[in-house]
Amino acid sequence: MASPFTIAFPLGVTIGKWTRVFEQRHPDVELRVVRMELADQRTTLDGAADMAFVREPLDTDGLHVIPLYEENIVVVMHHEHLLTLEKDLHLADLADETLLEGADAEAVIRRVAAGEGIAVFPQSIAKAFRRKDVTAMKLEDAEPSRVALAWSRGAQHPLVDEFIGIVRGRSAHSSRNPEVAAGEAAKRQEAERKKAERQKAKRQASAREAAAKRKKQGGQIRKRARRGGA
């Protein structure tokens, strides 16, 4: 059995569609899926997880990183806040507002619901803690939140390439699937072996034919020589 394969992800990043495919293709592998805080992304990749879905910015020194997608940034506010009257929201509109922050997004949104201020989150995090007394509006001129797949350049789990293929939509029968690639390589080797055997047999047949021809010619020469001597 292969060693356990651990994948980490932050709040708001949904990875179930990929982990389900992985489990279907590798039922013999223990897949561990763990939540991590944004502040712990780098330390998680330095030992706790084989791969991680991460939000930028991130210190990528010593990491492989594949950008995946971007998502909108939203302003989360009480549903009766004056900003809800705006058609569009821009960074300048937040200048006089109390901006709430904190590692615990759910706790921050509870404070928003209590009217203590507003908060800014990636859209998926706001959706994760949706409530009737809170509204989320897109912040039009904010830089989007970028999500990527990352893993260490050091000790790489043998199933990293397989999981990358799944995330990229590679089918189980893709030639870049490690098992399929190994099977195709074996087929190519077998085909090359048979081709070499056919070529060897052809050369041997040609050699036998040439030898028989030379023998026949030698016999004819000897016969003519005997008739000439008589």
CA distance 55 to 176: 27
One-letter amino acid of 15: I
Three-point CA angle 51, 54, 55, nearest 5°: 175
Rounded to the nearest integer, the mean pLDDT of the chain is 88
Contact present, 58 and 145 (Cβ < 8 Å):
no
Contact present, 12 and 76 (Cβ < 8 Å):
no
Q: DSSP E strands: which ranges in 24-156?
A: 31-35, 51-55, 63-71, 73-78, 119-122, 134-138, 145-152
The pTM assigned to this predicted structure is: 0.70
Two structure tokens written together for 75: 């302003």
Three-point CA angle 91, 92, 94, nearest 5°: 70
Judged on CB neighbours under 10 Å (0-12, 13-18, 19+), 89 is buried
From the DSSP assignment, how many helices (H) and strands (E) are in the chain?
Answer: 6, 8
Two structure tokens written together for 151: 């893993």
Instruction: Identify the band that residue 174 occupies on the pLDDT scale cut at 50, 70 and 90.
Output: very low
Q: What tens digit of pLDDT does each residue of 104-161 get?
A: 999 999 999 999 999 999 999 999 999 999 999 999 999 999 999 999 998 789 999 9
One-letter amino acid of 65: V
Two structure tokens written together for 211: 């030898």
pLDDT at position 175, please?
43
Share of the chain above pLDDT 90, in %: 70
- SS3 of 133, please? coil
